[in-house]
Structure formats: structure tokens, C-alpha cells
Amino acid sequence: MPSQNLSLSHIGDTYIKFAEQFYYKTEPRDLTPLLDYLPDLKLDSKYVLEDFRPREQTNSVLWLYVRNKNSERPQDENYKNKEKNHFYVFGLNWNKCYVTKSVKIAGIPIFKFRKRLKPIKPFLHIQLPFTEEAVWQAYLLQQTYHIIGMRWHGGYAARLFINLPSDIERIKDIHNVACCETSDILEELTEACRNNFSLPQVKLLENKAIITHCWFDAWNGLIQITCQGEYNKRKKQMGEFTIIAEQTLVQYNCRIKY
């Protein structure tokens, strides 16, 4: 079993509280301040962390990417489907962005063309040490779309991360749960989760990191997630994490459909 590290609980709790407070005040495009609460992640100073989606786009989740400070931020009119996605998948966003470029000779524009602008994944420009705390921070950054920035059907991605025992009590405050159940059922659900949850754990094996943690999903219940990611020691970078196991600890469905 992975070793217990209580600092992971503190890191997760602090980051999620800040992310929710910071984001929902103004829904900023510049999300670089999130990294202040993930201190082991060092973003290349030439880049900023942003949400790649157009502001008018619904039916989507947060789309984290990094932009070179010397390049222009894409505007809503640059997107093919700026108001909606035709298809929605957790963690994916298929809205295409194009910018207009021009070919110049002696400073005179000869012709213009459209070029697709592809978002740069954050981990390509973030360095970190290979420690339990740093790996957990990288994982939290990747999973931020489960915490903030959900629009319309994107609400299905909402997760309550169980970083501390007290987070179990927050299940009763989830809108899609509280509005559907009696107080007795809420208490039964909470008690079942109290008896089955586990705190975040990280295990490091050579260049691989295995993370095990719990979250509560209003459509599936209390789930234990196991993810794996690979670390590049030469570049001091993490690859993206993938889920390798999911175990339902307490089954639940709020029965709400968006």
C-alpha cells in the first residue's frame, strides 16, 4: 500500500479552497495565480496559465493550457464554435481556434491565411521535483476541471475531493444531493461515506507515480480513484496522469439530468 502522507491532505484542501474562491469571483482567463498554491510546480517564466475556451462557450469544462507571453491571447471571434460544443467529453474540448496570419514582402502584406491555434499542454512547460507532494500538486492541476469552470453539461464533471475527514460532511451541501434527499437519507449517505473513505496517497516507483484518492460524484457516489503518471527525470517533468482503476465505495445517484 502507498505510504500515508498527511501533507497531501493539507495541499489538496488549501488548493481547492483557493481555486473555488479565486475563480468564481470573476472567472478570469489568467489562471497563473493557481500555481501559488501548488508551490512545487515551476512554470517557465515565459508562459502564463489560462483557460483556452471562449467566454461564450457553454457545454464545456475548463481547458487549461499555457500561452507564451509574447503571443496574443485568442479572442472569442477566433473560435469556430464560440458559443457551444457540438460534442462534450470529460477532459476533452473540440472547439477549434484559428488566427489570421499574413505574408509580407518588404513590410507589405501580400496575402492572408488562417492558421489553427493549438493549445499547449501545461506539463510541457512545468518542472517539478519527483516527490510525493510535487506529484500530488501536478495531479491536482490536471484535475482542476473537476473543481472549477464547469458550464451547463460540464456540471457532470463536478467532484468533491476528499482531502480531509471533514470533507465528508460537505456531501450534504452539494446542491444536486441536498435538493433530492430527505435529511434522514442525507445522514445515511454521509455515515456510509464516513465509514469507507480514505485520504490521498502517493507511491513513487522508479519513474512512475501512483496516486490513490477518493472523490464524491453526485451521479456515482463515493469513488476511489487510482491514477498513474510517468516522470521524466532529465526534463524534470510529469506526463499526464491516466486512471488505471476506479472502485465504487458508496453507490449513489442524485437522479438529476442537465
Contact residues for 156 (Cβ-Cβ < 8 A; gap 6+): 90, 219, 258
User: What percent of the chain has a predicted confidence (pLDDT) above 90?
Assistant: 62
How many structural domains is the chain composed of? 1
Helix axes 132-142, 6-26, angle to 10 degrees: 30
**Residue 258 belongs to a domain:** no
> Do the domain assignments include residue 212?
yes
Q: Which is more confident, 108 or 206?
A: 206
Instruction: Please tell me which residue, 230 or 58, carries the higher pLDDT value.
Output: 230
Q: How confident is the model at residue 178 (pLDDT cuts 50, 70, 90)?
A: confident
Q: What is the mean pLDDT of the chain?
A: 87
CA 189, CA 195: separation in Å to the nearest integer?
A: 10
Q: Environment class of residue 104 by beta-carbon count within 10 Å: exposed (0-12), middle (13-18) or buried (19+)?
A: exposed
Task: Indicate whether 149 belongs to any domain.
Answer: yes
Question: For residues 41 and 126, what is the distance between their CA atoms, to the nearest angstrom?
Answer: 6
Q: Examine residue 227 and state whether it is found in any structural domain, yes or no.
A: yes
Q: What pLDDT does 173 receive?
A: 87
Burial of 145 (0-12, 13-18, 19+ CB in 10 A): buried
Q: How confident is the model at residue 26 (pLDDT cuts 50, 70, 90)?
A: confident
pLDDT at 34: 98
Residue 78, pLDDT > 70, answer no
Q: Give 67 or 1, the one with higher predicted confidence.
A: 67
Encode pLDDT of 234-249 as tens digits.
999 999 999 999 999 9
Work out the pLDDT band at 79, boundaries 50, 70, 90: low
Strand pairing report for 208-217 and 160-161: antiparallel
Whether residue 189 has pLDDT greater than 70 = yes
**If you average pLDDT over residues 136-144, what whole number do you get?**
98
pLDDT of amino acid 227 = 98
* SS3 category, 243: strand
DSSP label of 241:
P
Q: At residue 49, does pLDDT exceed 80?
A: yes
Does residue 114 fall inside a structural domain?
Answer: no
Task: Give per-residue pLDDT as tens, 126-137.
Answer: 999 999 999 999
Q: Let me know the angle formed at the C-alpha of 100 by 96 and 104, rounded to the nearest 5 degrees.
A: 150
Q: What residues make up the domain containing 57?
A: 6-85+119-251
**100 versus 229: which is more confidently predicted?**
229
Q: Could you give the percent of the chain with pLDDT greater than 70?
A: 85
The answer to whether position 63 is within a domain reads yes
Q: What is the DSSP string of 48-93?
A: EEEE-S-TT--SB---EEEEETTSPPPPGGGBTTTT--SS-BTTB-
Helix (H, G, I), strand (E, B) or coil at 161: strand
Tell me which of 205 and 99 has the higher pLDDT: 205
pLDDT score of 142 more than 80: yes
Degrees to nearest 5, angle at CA 162 with 204 and 229: 25
Please state, in angstroms and rounded to a whole number, the distance separating the CA atoms of residues 161 and 175: 15
- Does residue 111 belong to any structural domain of this protein? no
pLDDT at residue 29 in the model? 84
In a domain, 238, yes or no: yes
pLDDT tens string 160-175? 999 999 999 999 988 8
